[in-house]
Structure 1
Amino acid sequence: MSEDVLSVIPTDPHWQPGRAAADRTAMIVAEMAPRLPGGVDVEIDVTWHDKLTVVDCGANLERINCPLCGDSIDTEWWADLLEAYSEDGFATLAIEAPCCGGATSLDALNYDWPCGFARFEIAIWNPERAWFSDEELGALAKALGHPVKQVRAHI
């Protein structure tokens, strides 16, 4: 069975909130996430990761482009990278771009659909909505105390 996950993460991959800010933001996310048919609440996970963790879009990923040269980066390269770091997380996001050899960062690559890296994540499993609006993201950022972005995964 496939599932969809809508995640909210800080724009700074290393940043983590305090417990009160995380709880406050999770309550707002719960209000924004409609109930499933039958009146069942969606599942919301709040996670502090010990190391940098990828928050990817799963099967939604269509392409990756290099921010340095603009060339396409093979999604197989991305899949191999995720497999290599799946258990231990990422010590650094610095990479040598496979297309041009330039120094860049994993979080600087241009992903279509959005992907990210984080040490904190609020994940909504099988939400009955596609995305949060810019206004809603602003409210979540205010509650969390840090700018946020969203990633929608299909797994």
Structure 2
Amino acid sequence: MSDDVLSAIPTAPHWQPEQAPERAASIVEELAPGLPNGIDVEIDITWHDALTVVDCGQNLQKIGCPQCGASIDTDWWADQLEAHYDDGFATLAVVVPCCGAATSLDALVYDWSCGFARFEIAVWNPERAWFSDEELTAIADALGHPVMQIRAHI
């Protein structure tokens, strides 16, 4: 069985809220009220101990270089994730294979969005595709920091 997960994460990978984000969680709960058969969706709020990849799973179409625009092989990306995972993502710095430019994993151009975070609000199997810009702003205002969204199919 596969799942879809719609996550809101801070735009700054290392940022975490200083206090419990109940207001943001309430907003997300209102935006994902449940399934038509009356079953509530599962909402997870997670503080990660270390920087964590929040990727789009099987939705990933391609990755682009932010410097030269060339396509980056997903196998190279997976190798980078594995190498950086071993050190707890102490750095996101990489040198891209296409043009040799120094950049970071969070600066790569993902189609569909991927990110890195130490805090995440995830809605499992939401009955919606995306949060609107206005909804993302409301979540960001409640957290006190801008957020981005990731839609994963796993």
**Shorter chain as normaliser: what TM range?**
over 0.9
RMSD value, Cα: 1.4
Secondary structure of 1:19's counterpart equals coil
- Matched with 1:12 is 12
Q: List runs of 5+ in structure 1 lacking aligned partners.
A: none
The verdict on how the C-alpha distance between 1:79 and 1:19 changes in structure 2, with shifts beyond 3 A counting, is same
Whether the 8 Å CA contact 2:84–2:92 is kept in 1: the answer is: no
- The Cα shift of 1:40 comes to 1.2
Greater shift in the superposed pair: 42-51 or 86-95: 86-95
- Matched with 1:108 is 107
Whether the 8 Å CA contact 2:60–2:110 is kept in 1: the answer is: yes
Greater shift in the superposed pair: 82-91 or 1-10: 82-91
Separation in structure 2 between the aligned mates of residue 107 and residue 13 of structure 1, nearest angstrom: 8
Residue identity in the other structure for 2:88 = G
Separation in structure 1 between the aligned mates of residue 87 and residue 44 of structure 2, nearest angstrom: 20
Q: List runs of 5+ in structure 2 lacking aligned partners.
A: none
- The Cα shift of 1:81 comes to 2.9
- Matched with 2:65 is 66
Residue identity in the other structure for 1:93 = L
- The Cα shift of 1:69 comes to 1.1
- The Cα shift of 1:107 comes to 0.8
Q: Are 1:56 and 2:65 counterparts?
A: no
Figure out how many residues of one structure are paired with residues of the other and give that number: 154
- The Cα shift of 1:84 comes to 4.1
Provide TM-score, normalisation by structure 1: 0.94
Whether the 8 Å CA contact 2:24–2:139 is kept in 1: the answer is: yes
Whether the 8 Å CA contact 2:84–2:90 is kept in 1: the answer is: no
Whether the 8 Å CA contact 2:11–2:147 is kept in 1: the answer is: yes
Whether the 8 Å CA contact 1:95–1:106 is kept in 2: the answer is: yes
- The Cα shift of 1:99 comes to 1.4
Whether the 8 Å CA contact 1:51–1:88 is kept in 2: the answer is: no
Whether the 8 Å CA contact 2:10–2:146 is kept in 1: the answer is: yes
Provide TM-score, normalisation by structure 2: 0.94
Whether the 8 Å CA contact 1:34–1:129 is kept in 2: the answer is: no
